[in-house]
C-alpha cells in the first residue's frame, strides 16, 4: 500500500508555520516580510499566478506590492523599476512574473535583480551557489519537492534517483540538489531527457523518480520497479467532459498503473503544485531575515 | 584495439593554435591577452603551478603578471589587490592560486573577482551561467575534458555517461556539461559518489566513464563494459623505486585491466593533466576578445 504525498495539506501546514513566524516578528516589533511582484502586460495566466501569490502573502501576513507595467514598456524602463525595488529597503523579495513580452530580454531582467532579493532563485549567482553547495535561494518547484521528501521522511541517501527532464527550472536543479552532500540528498542521480535511449531501462532501476518532462501520463506502471517513490511535476491541461470547467489537470505519471507499485507518490493536482507558492513565501521569509546573505 | 587519448599532444596542438591567434592579434596592432596570477605565501605546489602557468603564457605570447603577496596579508588587503586588477583594463584574466592561507576566506576572494575576468570559472556567476546553459568561463579540468572528447570525436549524444566523484571542480560540472543540449553533450548522465551503492553496477552500464574520485587504480577492468570510453582525472603521487624522483603519478583507473576493454582511454600522466593549463589559456583568450561577456 502506497503513501500519498499530500502537497495541499503540507502546503497548508507550512503556510500556518510561516504565519506564526510572522506573528512573532510583529510581536517583537520587527518588520514583516515584503514581497514585490512585477507584472508586465496582461497575460491571463500571469495575472492568475500573481493574484495567487498576492493572496498567499496576505494569508501569512506578509506585505505585498504588485507593480503593474504597460505591455509596451521599454527594456530600460523595466530595468529602472527593478533597480528601484533593489534599492528599496522596505522590500525583501522581488519577482518578475515570466514570460515577459517578446521585446524584453528576460535574462537581462533576471540578472538585474539583486541576488539578495531574488526569491525566485533564477539569478546565476543563486544557481551557481546552489550548484557549489553554498546557501542560496532555491527556486520554488525544486525547493517544494525537497520539502515534501523531507516531511514525508523519504530516505534519499545512497538511493538511485532518476530525474526525467533537464529544464533549468526543475530537472537540472533537482539533479544537482539530490546529489548534494545534504539531507535530503546524497542520491546517486541519473538525469534523463529527450536524447536518452531506452529510458525505461533507467526508470526501472530507480528508487526515486522525478518526472518533469511535460508529457501527460508518460510514466506507466511497466516502466517502474516495486517500491519506487514517484514525484510528478507535470501539469498539462487536457479537455474533459467530466468537469464543469471543461478541462482537467494531468501529470506526467499514469497514476493508476504506477501507484500500486510505489511506496510514495504525489497526485496531480494536489502534489507538487501547491508547494511552489509556499516555497516562494519561505524564500521571502529567509530574505527578510537575511539568512542566505547575512 | 583502443585509441589512446593523448592529452600531451593535443595540448601542444592547442598551444600552437593559440600562439597563431596571438600573432594575428599582434599583427593587427591589437593588445595581446594578459593573465594575472595572485600568489599568497610560499606553498611549494602553488609556486610550481603558478610558474607553469607563467611559462605557458610566455610560450603562446600572452603577457603575464604574477603578484606575490606576503603570507600574513589581511583579507582586506588581498581584496584590495583583487579589486585593483579587476579595474585594470590592461589585464584580461585574473586567477588567485588556491589554497590560500587559513586566515583568508577563499570564497569571498573568488566572489570578488569580476566574472568577466574569472578565467578559472570558479565565481558563482560563471558556475550558474554554465548550469543554465549560458556562455560562461568553464573551469580548466572540465573544459579540457570536453576538448579531448571533441577532438577525438567521441560520440556523446544519447550515450550513458557515468561520472564518479561530485567535487565542485570536476565531477559536478562534468555531470552538468555532459547532460547539456550541446556538442559534446546530450548524454544521459549518472553522478556517482561516496554514498553510491554498488558502484560497479553503474559503471558496467556506462558508455563513457569520467573517473574523478582521487583513489589510485580504483576503476578496474571488471567494473567496465566492452567498448567504454574512459577519462581518468585522478592524479595521486605514489612512492616508486623505479623512478629517479622516488614517486610516480597514478590515476583513478587501473589502466592495464581497463584499456583492453575500452574504445578510448586517457593515460596518467599525459591525459587530462596537460589539458588544464591550455584551458586556462583558452579562457584568457576568450576574455581578451570579450567573447563570453560582450
Mean pLDDT of B57-81: 98
> Are residues A188 and A139 in contact, defined by beta-carbon separation less than 8 angstroms?
no
**Residues of B assigned a catalytic role:** 53, 97, 120
* pLDDT for res A17: 98
Quick one: CA torsion of A240, A245, A251, A253, rounded to 10 degrees? Answer: -40
pTM: 0.97
Q: Which of B179, B182, B199 to mutate to test the interface with A (most CBs of A within 10 A)?
A: B179
Which chain B residue has the Cα nearest residue A198?
A: B158
Residue A135 sits at the chain B interface (C-beta within 8 Å): no
Q: Do A191 and B189 touch (CB under 8 A)?
A: yes
Residue A131 sits at the chain B interface (C-beta within 8 Å): yes
- Residue-wise pLDDT for B94-132, tens only, equals 999 999 999 999 999 999 999 999 999 999 999 999 999
- Using a CB-CB distance cutoff of 8 angstroms, which residues of chain B are in contact with residue A188? 190-193, 195-197, 202
Ordered structural domains, chain B, with CATH? 32-114 (3.40.50.10860), 140-273 (3.40.50.720)
- Nearest 5°: the CA angle A282, A285, A287 is 110
Q: Give percent of chain B above pLDDT 70.
A: 100
CA distances to A76, A185, B209 from A176, in Å? 34, 9, 19
* pLDDT for res A265: 98
- Nearest 5°: the CA angle B139, B141, B145 is 115
Chain A nearest-CA distance from B132, in A, is 6
Q: Do A129 and B132 touch (CB under 8 A)?
A: no
> Are residues B176 and A176 in contact, defined by beta-carbon separation less than 8 angstroms?
yes
* pLDDT for res B255: 98
* pLDDT for res B235: 94
Nearest by CB to residue A195, choosing from B158, B166, B193, is B158
Chain A nearest-CA distance from B30, in A, is 30
Which stretches in chain A have pLDDT values below 70?
none
Q: Give percent of chain B above pLDDT 90.
A: 98
Of A120, A232, A252, A254, the catalytic one is A120
The band of B10, judged by pLDDT with boundaries at 50, 70 and 90, is very high
Chain B nearest-CA distance from A199, in A, is 9
- Residue-wise pLDDT for B80-102, tens only, equals 999 999 999 999 999 999 999 99
- Residue-wise pLDDT for A48-72, tens only, equals 999 999 999 999 999 999 999 999 9
* pLDDT for res B46: 95
Nearest CA to B214 out of B232, B226, B231, B240 is that of B232
Residue A92 cell numbers, joined:
525583501
- Using a CB-CB distance cutoff of 8 angstroms, which residues of chain B are in contact with residue A128? 123-131
Q: What is the DSSP string of B193-224?
A: -TT-SSHHHHHTT-SEEEE-S--TT-B-GGGS
* pLDDT for res B5: 98
CA distances to A261, B145, B154, B163, B212 from B231, in Å? 38, 8, 11, 10, 9
Residue B52 sits at the chain A interface (C-beta within 8 Å): no
Amino acid at each position: 500500500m502506497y503513501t500519498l504525498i499530500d502537497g495541499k495539506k503540507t502546503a497548508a501546514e507550512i503556510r500556518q508555520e510561516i504565519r506564526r513566524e510572522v506573528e512573532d516578528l510583529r510581536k517583537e516589533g520587527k518588520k514583516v516580510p515584503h514581497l514585490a511582484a512585477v507584472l508586465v502586460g496582461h497575460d491571463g495566466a500571469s495575472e492568475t499566478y500573481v493574484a495567487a501569490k498576492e493572496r498567499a502573502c496576505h494569508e501569512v501576513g506578509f506585505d505585498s506590492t504588485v507593480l503593474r507595467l504597460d505591455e509596451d514598456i521599454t527594456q530600460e524602463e523595466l530595468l529602472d523599476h527593478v533597480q528601484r525595488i533593489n534599492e528599496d529597503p522596505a522590500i525583501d523579495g522581488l519577482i518578475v512574473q515570466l514570460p515577459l513580452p517578446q521585446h524584453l530580454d528576460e535574462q537581462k531582467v533576471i540578472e538585474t535583480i539583486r541576488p539578495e532579493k531574488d526569491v525566485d532563485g533564477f539569478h546565476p549567482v543563486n544557481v551557481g551557489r546552489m550548484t557549489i553547495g553554498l546557501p542560496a535561494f532555491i527556486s520554488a518547484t525544486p525547493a517544494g519537492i525537497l520539502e515534501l521528501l523531507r516531511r514525508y521522511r523519504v530516505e534519499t541517501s545512497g538511493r538511485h534517483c532518476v530525474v526525467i527532464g533537464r529544464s533549468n527550472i526543475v530537472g537540472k536543479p533537482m539533479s544537482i540538489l539530490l546529489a548534494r552532500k545534504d539531507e535530503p540528498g546524497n542520491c546517486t542521480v541519473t538525469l534523463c531527457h529527450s536524447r536518452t535511449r531506452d529510458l525505461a531501462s533507467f526508470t526501472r532501476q530507480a528508487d526515486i523518480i522525478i518526472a518533469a518532462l511535460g508529457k501527460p501520463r508518460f510514466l506507466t506502471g511497466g516502466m517502474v520497479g516495486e517500491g519506487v517513490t514517484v514525484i510528478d511535476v507535470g501539469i498539462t491541461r487536457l479537455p474533459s467532459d467530466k468537469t464543469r470547467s471543461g478541462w482537467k489537470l494531468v501529470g506526467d505519471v499514469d497514476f493508476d498503473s504506477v501507484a500500486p507499485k510505489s511506496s510514495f507518490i504525489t497526485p496531480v493536482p494536489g502534489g507538487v503544485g501547491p508547494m511552489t507558492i509556499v516555497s516562494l513565501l519561505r524564500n521571502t521569509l529567509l530574505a527578510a531575515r537575511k539568512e542566505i546573505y547575512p
